[in-house]
């Protein structure tokens, strides 16, 4: 009792272990000079792989183990697609998994691309990233996903049962609708 114990870096999730991982990530970044892509992916409790395995009456929040396992498999699949060249030729990556307040995991991925595959112009970025709502006729599934998970609304008097509504004040917790800006 009262004796100082210093955990070695081989002790998983200890302070020295985390510091060593951080230093390794910094060394990789220094070697490749430039981070080309920063990708974030968050677990979705409504994924079919999760909801199909839940017994009747259970919610995804009751099974954090199931969410973590499915999320881990999705990360492996994403990383395999990146290795296969879905975003161009890559030379290295670093990622970390964090847990949000609601218990959902998310991952931050730093990608180092081959100099020939780097994004050098806005046109090249536009080829892999879109900030538009997909066309419902040509991409119905993608349009449905964007509208369900990436757009806030409708709430207020139009939908008083929306998840963002505060019960006592009957107003949106995200302060919608907001006034238009010039």
pLDDT at 151: 78
Q: What CA–CA distance (Å, rounded) separates 112 from 91?
A: 6
pLDDT at 148: 78
pLDDT at 29: 86
Spell out, as residue ranges, where the chain has pLDDT lower than 70.
167-169
pLDDT at 33: 82
pLDDT at 32: 86
pLDDT at 144: 87
pLDDT at 164: 79
Q: What CA–CA distance (Å, rounded) separates 171 from 165?
A: 5
Distance from chain centroid for Cα 132 = 19
State the distance between the two ends of the chain, measured CA to CA, in whole angstroms: 65
CB 37 within 8 A of CB 111: yes
pLDDT at 138: 94
The reported pTM is 0.72
pLDDT at 102: 72
């Amino acid at each position: 009792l009262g004796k100082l114990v210093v955990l070695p870096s081989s002790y998983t999730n200890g302070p020295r272990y985390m510091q060593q991982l951080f230093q390794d990530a910094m060394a990789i970044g220094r070697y490749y000079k430039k981070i080309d892509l920063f990708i974030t992916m968050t677990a979705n409790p409504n994924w079919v792989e999760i909801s199909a395995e839940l017994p009747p009456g259970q919610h995804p929040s009751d099974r954090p183990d199931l969410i973590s396992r499915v999320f881990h498999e999705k990360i492996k699949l994403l990383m395999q697609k990146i290795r296969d060249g879905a975003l161009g030729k890559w030379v290295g990556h670093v990622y970390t998994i964090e847990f949000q307040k609601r218990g959902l995991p998310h991952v931050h991925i730093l990608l180092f691309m081959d100099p020939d595959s780097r994004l050098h112009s806005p046109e090249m970025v536009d080829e892999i990233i879109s900030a538009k709502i997909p066309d419902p006729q040509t991409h119905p599934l993608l349009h449905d996903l964007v509208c369900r998970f990436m757009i806030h609304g409708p709430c207020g008097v139009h939908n008083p049962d929306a998840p963002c509504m505060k019960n006592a004040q009957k107003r949106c917790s995200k302060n919608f609708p907001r006034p238009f800006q010039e």
